[in-house]
Structure 1
């Protein structure tokens, strides 16, 4: 798929510990990693993977293995993650969720393409293994990558990072790696046709508005969110007319990276590239900042998705992260209200898409029904950013 055909990445976010060191499978044919799945969980697992077909596929391409085990890693809320033991190798399979999705959502082969292209760059990544378009294997496109051991800082920091110096380094590693993503020579790595960087930011506003409208087709029967439409109108009016052109990750934040075992903190892998394209690097920075917590911030609109531990002593503030990014890249972070409001608008659109999937019975994720109330909360947060009530 070319960048022109795809336009910009508009896939659903997010939130997967795609190759963490947790959740190893222990049983050759188990549907879950603990053997205590409910009937609904087992049914959903069976929709995700045909284990004999996957075994045959891997054997044909990687050679036979004495041990084969599969488990569902249920921490993510968008593309699905399966942990696979194949002999002495620990692998990860990424596939879309079952059921109807919006437009180009969940393009895992696009995710694979960018990860494969970046293997020899300064961006830390899991090793890529295989990509498959044959839906007879698991019922969808999917890809296979190596599993990376370490910690994803989703809800809390590991004890070894519980000092001011380590906390500061976590923030520095996070922003330095984002700078490395934006420094990639995308032409040289074969991604010159990966997207259309000119006009990216305006198309983001238009595309996420379109995604919202797709979700509203169903969710408006339950409740409406008029404030979100007002935010979308403001973004359309205030959208920057020009911007830098780089590779963008599209979902870059603290819980989409993994830190290696040991200390001091070392960022070992960046995950969840499904929204990567060529575009405006400040959209990436605004997204990362929208998840970062400073002391004194209001309670998060989406507590299920927003950690608060980085308000502890030692973590850099949002402004300090911006200053480090500007020094590393030479790119000035202008229009902060726009970029952070756009980030919250995108998250609200994703939440509304999740809510539609829940209403249509296409997900067993317990977070999805909460979007009935979380999305209106996000709309109010975007409004606060626009009004200057949540400053950088």
Structure 2
């Protein structure tokens, strides 16, 4: 989960904070927990690639609960650095090299993504691989609407633009061209259910029987995939950068680490799982766009109807895909909760502690979605 930056921009500084950011490798070695950013290492990396000159200014940005995102400024260059969390990392998770690669491929395909400036495959400088992309100017909308969009008509336009961006991604030809061979689309849904069912015992220390029950029900009622397409894997309003113009338009889709080829309705299911409604009852921790409960925004049914109209897909089984998204979210949220219990998120005083009740709530709502007809 991430954002580039809101148009107003965060406050940048040259000074390390002694927690997430260290000035030198020597300082980093003395810290009790490895920092996320080492300024002299980043400066050397920028020097090697001729990106700016002088000291590096930084600010942490985004709402990600796993990967870290920093805005960097050096001379006339502004870039966004993306890296995974502190090691140890789960297998295949937080793959920044894959995230950079798909954005390079998508730019070749003409998609709306950020420009990747440089990739560091060597984990030595920061402890994990990372990459830099050019800073985008615009707004990421989650809990408030920019003033220029704050009418009922424009709020509807924001929702429509989000669906339009999703339909455009799913229209990209994955049989030929830059994305051919990017993933293995056959059996995508089966692998999702099998993989996440197997993860629970590795990331959790508590017994929640509904996890296994839902895995069995998802496998037994799995819909047939209508077609194969690029699957973003984390497609939600908070991963869309809206441009600075008066009309709501998506300038770029962000956060591509979970992307692959598979069933595109999985993205639509995830979008509606993270979408808040005015009459939606007690929200889950995955309703990451509370602003969408305001008047003017499409509701979940409206999102599905627009997607069907744009793509010709049949979304009548959307409840299954929403249940899949909520169930998967419960599994990776449990991993965050366990890391917090282990003291690996000492500054998290709200999100991770709330997952004690938040994960069971996700499972309950997944069960309700799976029963929808």
Mark yes or no: TM-score above 0.5: yes
Q: Indicate the residue corresponding to 2:12 in structure 1.
A: 26
Q: Indicate the residue corresponding to 1:228 in structure 2.
A: 211
CA contact (8 A) 2:10 2:61 kept: no
CA contact (8 A) 2:228 2:264 kept: yes
Structure 1 alignment gaps of length 5 or more:
1-13, 36-41
Q: Indicate the residue corresponding to 1:75 in structure 2.
A: 63
How far apart are residue 146 of structure 1 and its match? 0.8
Q: Indicate the residue corresponding to 1:49 in structure 2.
A: 37
Q: Indicate the residue corresponding to 2:336 in structure 1.
A: 354
Q: Indicate the residue corresponding to 1:249 in structure 2.
A: 232
CA contact (8 A) 1:31 1:71 kept: no
Q: Are 1:377 and 2:361 an aligned pair?
A: yes
How far apart are residue 362 of structure 1 and its match? 2.6
CA contact (8 A) 2:4 2:62 kept: no
1:385 aligned counterpart, secondary structure: helix
Of the three residues 132, 136, 144, the one matched with 1:156 is 144
Higher relative contact order (CA 8 A, sep 6+): 1
Q: Are 1:195 and 2:177 an aligned pair?
A: no
1:300 aligned counterpart, secondary structure: coil
Alignment of 1:46-125 (within 5 A): 47-63=35-51, 65-73=53-61, 75-125=63-113
Q: Indicate the residue corresponding to 1:301 in structure 2.
A: 284
Q: Deviations over 1:47-105 (max 9, x none)?
A: 21221111111101125503411232363111111211121111111111002232211
Q: TM-score, normalised by structure 1?
A: 0.86
How far apart are residue 267 of structure 1 and its match? 1.2
How far apart are residue 225 of structure 1 and its match? 1.6
**When the two structures are aligned, how many residues end up with a matched partner?**
362
Q: Deviations over 1:11-61 (max 9, x none)?
A: xxx2x12344465453323339xx9xxxxxx96895212211111111011
How far apart are residue 299 of structure 1 and its match? 1.8
Q: Deviations over 1:86-135 (max 9, x none)?
A: 21111111111002232211011111111111114443211111111111
CA distance in 1, matches of 2:45, 2:71: 16
How far apart are residue 322 of structure 1 and its match? 1.4
Q: TM-score, normalised by structure 2?
A: 0.90
Structure 2 alignment gaps of length 5 or more:
22-29
Alignment of 1:282-301 (within 5 A): 282-301=265-284
1:70 aligned counterpart, secondary structure: strand
CA RMSD of aligned residues (A): 2.3
Q: Are 1:17 and 2:10 an aligned pair?
A: no
How far apart are residue 258 of structure 1 and its match? 1.3
1:72 aligned counterpart, secondary structure: strand
CA distance in 2, matches of 1:372, 1:226: 15
- Could you list the structure 1 runs, at least 4 aligned residues long, displaced by more than 4 angstroms after superposition: 42-46
How far apart are residue 167 of structure 1 and its match? 1.1
CA contact (8 A) 1:293 1:308 kept: yes
